[in-house]
Amino acid sequence: MERILPEAAERIFLLNASPEEVYRYLREHTQTPMAFGYALSDDLQKELVSRAEPIVDLALAQFCDSEEVINEILAKDDKDLRVAVLANHNRLRPIKLFRDLDTGLLPEKVFDQLLSNGDGFELLAFFGNPRLEMDVLADVFARNGNYSDLQDERWMMMVIAALRNPQLRQDRQFRDFVDGYDMYRHHRPFGEIYKLLLRIEPSPRWATNLYREIFELAEWKPDAEGALANTGEEMPELLYGESAGDSSKDWHESHKRGEELYLKQLLKHWKTPTPKGDEYRDPKYGESHDWMREAIVSRLPSHSNLIEKMFTYNDVWVRKGAYRAIEPSSPEELDRFYERDGLDFLEAAIRNPSFFRNYSDSAAAISLKLHDLVWYAERKPEDNTESDFTRDQYDGQLKRLHEADPSIFPLNPEAFERPDPDDVADVDPGHAAFKNIERVRAEISDLSRNMQHSGGFKELSGIVNKLSDMVAGQSQVSQETFAALEERVLARIDDSRREVNSNFWVLILFLIFLVLVGAAIKFI
């Protein structure tokens, strides 16, 4: 951010402002690296720390970059201030203080204390800092350098903290990198993570601590070379220029074999252990090893040919991971998935944004199919008790996606349905009959949602929605089609009234809507 006050005026303001105003000012104006924008001078930072006010000290610890001021704050031996320093994003002047490790403004003594005695808050503040060098994260996962002599429990704490670093959850594109070395440094921690997963003991403690973090990883970087080496095969050298020949083709084919081999080894490594003694495990809800396998497979790129192979596994957790990774191709594909795995498929698909998108007619059809499977599909007897929970999950995910990007994730998937081209003809979209159609659709959607628990109303709801979709789609229904639909609605009203008398007034509202739609169509 650009400086908004002349330096002299800024000094007068900060030295006389209340501690709360100083905190707000520094928070808002010191978030940009020095090379590209605003920063306080060292002299002004020293004057601020001389105020000896806790909130000003916290602001300096959290947002400023003077090495001398940071050391003075750390000398106070206050844990809260130390955590603020560890989480400081303004690592503007990296200093290689020791052992060739870039720790920014962190003195060697403080870093050593962090490794030996730092608690969970301190570890998460430092290893979760989004300005931390990616090489530091890679060394943690590889257990190299400063981390090689740590006790197993201590190292596990640092691995979990490092896995929560936001940089590991960012899907950076090729254009985001400065050069090839920048790209290498970014990818390196991911490669070390996947090596770690095959290297550590697959204990329940590791599985419990890891699976949530694996679900959040932005990249899939399997150790294909290591997997091939375990079988005695070496990766061919990748050549460039005139001497390249078929080396690129050979390398990619070898890497493809190694990737599949690595995945098989990893899934076997994290197989669910046999229960001991009287230990009981519910296969429906699974346990940490099951969730690990699901998390691992869920990281596969949507274009990977390995996803289809995961559906051949007689392991529902592997298949659930594939559902979270796949880019669905058609509504019929969702029917096949649901027929095989029922709610297990739905629970996994709900966590895959690809099932919710509306960037094309085919994507909208897939989103509508997921909506219908969640709300209306027939359940297996053992799944009935979980239906409400799955619907709540669906609604929550749709709301989150809509808030992130309303243009791709509309809140009303039922509006995606397209009318049958044989039943409709184009009309003027500016016609008065369509002025309030969105309000009508919203009312019908609410009514449908309220009625979804009553099986007798499903067909009625679908028929009325089809009628409203036809009008919402700015189309005119033929008289023959409308008459046929009207006859079906009246028949279902009689059946539904006998099934659930308490919903009589809901039926009346549907009938009124039907009459209004019929009038609008005839008017057109």
pLDDT higher at 286 or 499: 286
Question: Where does residue 396 rank: exposed (0-12), middle (13-18), buried (19+ CB within 10 A)?
Answer: exposed
Separation CA 414–CA 102 (nearest Å)? 53
Q: 316 pLDDT exceeds 80?
A: yes
Q: Determine the pLDDT at residue 217.
A: 95
269: nearest Cα among 198, 194, 190, 319? 198
pTM value > 0.85: no
The DSSP secondary structure of 68-80, one letter per residue, reads HHHHHHHTT--HH
326: nearest Cα among 341, 345, 313? 345
Separation CA 463–CA 194 (nearest Å)? 51
| Cα–Cα distances in angstroms (integers) from residue 123 to residues 4, 18, 235, 379, 483, in the given order | 35, 32, 38, 46, 69
Spatial contact of 266 and 258, defined as CB atoms under 8 Å apart: no
135: nearest Cα among 123, 120, 124, 147? 147
Spatial contact of 204 and 211, defined as CB atoms under 8 Å apart: no
Band of residue 488 on the pLDDT scale cut at 50, 70, 90: low
Q: Determine the pLDDT at residue 224.
A: 93
**Which residues does residue 477 pair with via DSSP β-bridges, in sequence order?**
424
Spatial contact of 392 and 339, defined as CB atoms under 8 Å apart: no
Could you report the per-residue pLDDT of 30-43, keeping only the tens digit for each?
Answer: 765 443 344 688 89
Band of residue 238 on the pLDDT scale cut at 50, 70, 90: confident
Q: Determine the pLDDT at residue 340.
A: 94
Separation CA 187–CA 82 (nearest Å)? 30
pLDDT higher at 148 or 387: 148
Average the pLDDT over 365-385 and give the result.
Answer: 83
Please compute Rg for the chain using Cα positions: 30
pLDDT higher at 100 or 79: 79
Please report, as a single letter, which amino acid is at residue 7: E
Residues with Cβ < 8 Å from 266, sequence gap 6 or more? 194, 197, 198, 222, 296
* Chain center to CA of 87: 23
pLDDT higher at 482 or 244: 244
43 phi and psi, to 5 degrees? Answer: -65, -40
User: Which residue bears the tokens 């001078």?
Assistant: 41
Q: Determine the pLDDT at residue 337.
A: 95
425 phi and psi, to 5 degrees? Answer: -140, 150
Separation CA 223–CA 215 (nearest Å)? 18
Band of residue 497 on the pLDDT scale cut at 50, 70, 90: very low
Separation CA 93–CA 402 (nearest Å)? 40
Q: Determine the pLDDT at residue 418.
A: 41
Q: 491 pLDDT exceeds 90?
A: no
Percent residues over pLDDT 90 in the chain: 44
Q: Determine the pLDDT at residue 278.
A: 64
Average the pLDDT over 321-335 and give the result.
Answer: 95
Could you report the per-residue pLDDT of 258-299, keeping only the tens digit for each?
Answer: 999 999 999 999 998 877 766 666 667 789 999 999 999 999
Q: 517 pLDDT exceeds 70?
A: no
Q: Determine the pLDDT at residue 7.
A: 80
Q: Determine the pLDDT at residue 449.
A: 43
Q: Determine the pLDDT at residue 419.
A: 37
Separation CA 65–CA 67 (nearest Å)? 6
Q: 469 pLDDT exceeds 60?
A: no
Q: 306 pLDDT exceeds 70?
A: yes
Could you report the per-residue pLDDT of 413-466, keeping only the tens digit for each?
Answer: 665 444 343 443 343 444 443 334 444 444 444 444 444 444 444 444 455 555
Q: Determine the pLDDT at residue 196.
A: 97
DSSP state of 108: H
Residues with Cβ < 8 Å from 394, sequence gap 6 or more? 346, 350, 370, 371, 374, 375
Average pLDDT, rounded, for the chain: 78
Q: How many CA atoms lie within 13 A of 160 on its CB side?
A: 18
Band of residue 495 on the pLDDT scale cut at 50, 70, 90: low
Spatial contact of 304 and 325, defined as CB atoms under 8 Å apart: yes
DSSP state of 420: P
SS3 101: strand
pLDDT higher at 218 or 389: 218
**Which residues does residue 425 pair with via DSSP β-bridges, in sequence order?**
476
Which segment of 9-13, 31-35, 272-276, 390-394 scores lowest on mean pLDDT? 31-35
b/e map 407-427, b = 16+ CB within 10 Å: eebbeebbbbbebeeebbeeb
The length of the chain in residues reads 524
Spatial contact of 369 and 361, defined as CB atoms under 8 Å apart: no
